[in-house]
Each structure stands twice: as C-alpha cells, then as structure tokens.
C-alpha cells in the first residue's frame, strides 16, 4: 500500500501549528479565528430530541426515516422555495463525508476530471485524489473546463473561503452548460442560511433549474446554522434517480446516520427560532471583526455570506499569519484554499463573544 503521504497533500492545518503555538503564548491567550467550528451551545430542542431517542438498538437506514425525509423536503420548500419529493432527499454523516467520497461513489476513474473553484475547500481535491480521478480548478467553468473530460462539477455558493455567492442568472448559465455536456452538478450550499449582504439561492430553485432537477444535487449542513458539527448531520436533495444510485452504494458501504442523530436533525429542521438566534450572534461578531480588521489596514473582498472574512494586507499570506499570531490571533492562510489566495487570509467569526472582543481590542 502506498503511504498516505504519497497519495495526498499534507493536511493543511498541520502547517499552522507553529503559529498556533505562538498565538497561544500571548499573555491574554489565543484568539482562534482559523477554523469555522461552532462554539455556541447546541439548541435545547436538538439535545432533547437526541436524548429522547437514545435507546436505538437497531441498525438505522441509510436513506433515513420517513419522518426525516419529510422534514428535509419541508425545509427545502419553506426556506429555499424548492419543491423536492422526500424520496429525492438523503441524510449524510456530515457534508465533508460526501465531498471526500463522492467521486468514488460515482465510480469515477483515472482520467475523469473533478472540477471545483480555484479558491475552495481543500476536500474537493482530496475526494478526486482518493478516487484517483484528476482534480481541476476553474474561475469560470464554462470558459475554463474541457467538457469532454469533466464528469463532476462542484459549485460552492456561498463560498468557503471567500463568502462569494453566485446569483440565479450565473447559476443558470453554468447549469445549462453542464446539462448540454452531460456533466453532473453538485452544489455545496452549506452556508446558504448565512447571507449577510445578499440572499443566496439554491441550484435547485426554479429560476436556476427550470423546474427540473435532472443532473443536479444540492448539499446542505446543519453544522453552522444549528451548532450541529459534533453530531455529524447533513443532507442532500435533487435528481431522484441519482439520489437512488447513491443510496444503493451507501447501503452496501454502511454510510448510515445514527437514529438519535436523525431525530435531532428533524428537530433542528423544524425550528426557525434557534437559527435566527445564531444568525444574530454571527452578525454581531462579523460586524465587530470587519470594522476592526478594516481599521487595522486590511481590505475585505467578497464576504457577503458565510462565516468568514476574506481579507488581505497586500502581502504574502504567511507574513500576515505571522504578524497576527504575535498579537495572539490565529487565522487561516489563503494559500490553504488555492494559489489564488496567496495574499489573503480567512478570518472566521466563530469565536465566542469574549474572544471576538479581545481580538478587536488587540487590533486596535
């Protein structure tokens, strides 16, 4: 067996460890703005649903319970204006699981291309490499890609790391092109409930899809909007035939969300109040950090949605990381997300209110 080091890149965050140690040595402790992991409490109704369903001795279904499929379809209709049959939905063991395994589940082979944005979450590349397919990036998929080779096209709107959001017209242009060439489109929309300056739209919305979900899948997560990351609960919906194909493989390979987590997902999808409360927290932290970093000489680009500020001082990103680490603030270098991010850093606003206030004080 070839060692992992020969098959996959170094795990990006391992390279950040020296700067994390430097930030942690600050007298006031570290302010970690490098990773978008939730820090606020899991909503009470979610915890209660998990506990009430903890006596689950049997094996769960890969497709999820009928109640969960109804809850997922209901959420798409209420929140995104998308009509989807419950049978065209499926729970996931967190969205990263799907991103990392999708090219393998689809049966992609060496020579097949997996395309994703030039600034992107690193797991899109990893998924292609695990399947021994070819990862390829784009700025504009219509202009930059060879449609005869691309088998899977990843969209990410709102974007991680930039927060950039594609509008309905842009999404439709890409979808029409992909359908013309028989390319499957998977849209990672995990930050869709965190639009600040825009209202993000799903690839499944009729203004994009024309009312047909053929060749389209939207991927969503509860991690950010419901502080659900530790539970590993996400879901997809779209092309019914493609969902059925993925289900067949997932049943064989044991990709099943535990029943108690499915019950917690139902509770989270059915409640809007806790989402609004969490959005208010993030909006407050975003405003404070945006003002502080701008005042400290940073330029913010995009960042109209998601949990991040995409910022630059016009210098190599590692110099910015080093400068901030000496103030006890840890951020992610833009290089982690592609060569085009070499002068940017990604600033997460998932720290507690106290830590955000401390970062603002240090930057001032």
Q: Where are the domains of the chain?
A: 4-41+274-363, 55-271
Structure tokens at 66: 């009928």
Average pLDDT over residues 77-96: 98
* Statement: residue 70 has pLDDT above 70: yes
**Residues pairing with 152 in the sheet:** 114, 184
pLDDT level of residue 9 (50, 70, 90 thresholds): confident
Please spell the DSSP secondary structure of 286-300, one letter per residue.
HHHHHHHHHHTT-EE
Q: Which pLDDT value is given to residue 5?
A: 65
Q: Is 242 helix (H, G, I), strand (E, B) or coil?
A: helix
List the beta strands (DSSP E) in the chain.
31-32, 89-92, 113-117, 134-138, 150-156, 184-188, 216-221, 234-238, 299-301, 308-312, 329-330, 332-333, 345-348
Neighbouring residues of 172: CB distance < 8 A, sequence distance ≥ 6: 207, 208, 210
Instruction: Report which DSSP code applies to 35.
Output: S
Peptide bond into 158 cis (omega under 30): yes
The pTM assigned to this predicted structure is: 0.96
Looking at CATH, the fold of the domain delimited by 4-41+274-363 is given as 3.90.1150
Average pLDDT over residues 78-91: 98
Q: Which pLDDT value is given to residue 77?
A: 98
**How far is 217 from 247, CA to CA, in rounded Å?**
13
Q: Say which residue the tokens 């917690």 belong to.
A: 264
Average pLDDT, the chain: 96
Q: Is 213 helix (H, G, I), strand (E, B) or coil?
A: coil
CA 23: distance to chain centroid? 26
Question: What is the greatest pairwise CA distance in the chain?
Answer: 59
Q: How many residues does the chain have?
A: 364
Other beta carbons within 10 Å of 178:
23
* Statement: residue 229 has pLDDT above 90: yes
* Statement: residue 329 has pLDDT above 90: yes
Q: Say which residue the tokens 């729970």 belong to.
A: 91
**How far is 228 from 98, CA to CA, in rounded Å?**
16
Distances in Å between the Cα of 48 and the Cα atoms of 44, 226, 257, 269 are: 6, 14, 18, 14
Average pLDDT over residues 91-106: 97
Please spell the DSSP secondary structure of 301-326, one letter per residue.
ES-SBSSEEEEE-SS-HHHHHHHHHT
Checking phi first, is residue 41 left (phi over 0); if not, alpha (psi -120 to 50) or beta?
beta
* Statement: residue 6 has pLDDT above 90: no
CATH 1.20.58.1690, applies to 55-271: no
* Statement: residue 2 has pLDDT above 90: no
């Amino acid at each position: 067996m070839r060692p992992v080091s020969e098959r996959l890149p170094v795990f990006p965050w391992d390279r950040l460890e020296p700067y994390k140690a430097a930030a942690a040595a600050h007298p006031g402790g570290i302010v970690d703005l490098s990773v978008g992991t939730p820090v606020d409490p899991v909503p009470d109704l979610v915890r209660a649903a998990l506990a009430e369903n903890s006596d689950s001795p049997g094996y769960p279904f890969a497709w999820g319970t009928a109640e969960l499929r109804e809850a997922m379809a209901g959420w798409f209709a209420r929140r995104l204006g998308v009509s989807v049959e419950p049978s065209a939905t499926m729970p996931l063991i967190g969205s990263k699981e799907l991103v990392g395994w999708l090219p393998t589940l689809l049966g992609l082979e060496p020579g097949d291309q997996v395309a994703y944005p030039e600034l992107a979450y690193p797991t899109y590349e990893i998924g292609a490499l695990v399947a021994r397919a070819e990862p390829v990036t784009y700025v504009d998929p219509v202009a930059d890609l060879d449609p005869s080779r691309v088998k899977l096209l990843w969209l990410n709107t709102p974007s991680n790391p930039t927060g950039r959001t594609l509008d309905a017209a842009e999404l439709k242009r890409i979808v029409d092109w992909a359908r013309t060439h028989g390319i499957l489109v998977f849209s990672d929309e995990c930050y869709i409930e965190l639009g600040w300056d825009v209202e993000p739209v799903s690839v499944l919305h009729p203004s994009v899809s024309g009312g047909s979900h053929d060749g389209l899948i939207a991927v969503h997560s509860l991690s950010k909007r419901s502080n659900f990351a530790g539970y590993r609960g996400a879901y997809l919906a779209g092309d019914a035939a493609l969902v059925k194909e993925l289900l067949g493989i997932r049943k064989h390979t044991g990709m099943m969300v535990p029943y108690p987590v499915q019950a917690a997902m139902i509770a989270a999808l059915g409640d809007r109040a806790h989402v609004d409360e969490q959005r208010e927290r993030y909006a407050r932290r975003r405003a404070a950090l945006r003002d502080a970093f701008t005042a400290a000489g940073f330029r913010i680009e995009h960042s109209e949605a998601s949990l991040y500020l995409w910022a630059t001082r016009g210098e190599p990103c590692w110099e910015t990381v080093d400068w901030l680490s000496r103030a006890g603030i840890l951020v992610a270098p833009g290089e982690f997300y592609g060569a085009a991010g070499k002068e940017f850093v990604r600033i997460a606003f998932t720290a507690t209110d106290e830590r955000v206030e401390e970062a603002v004080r240090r930057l001032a």
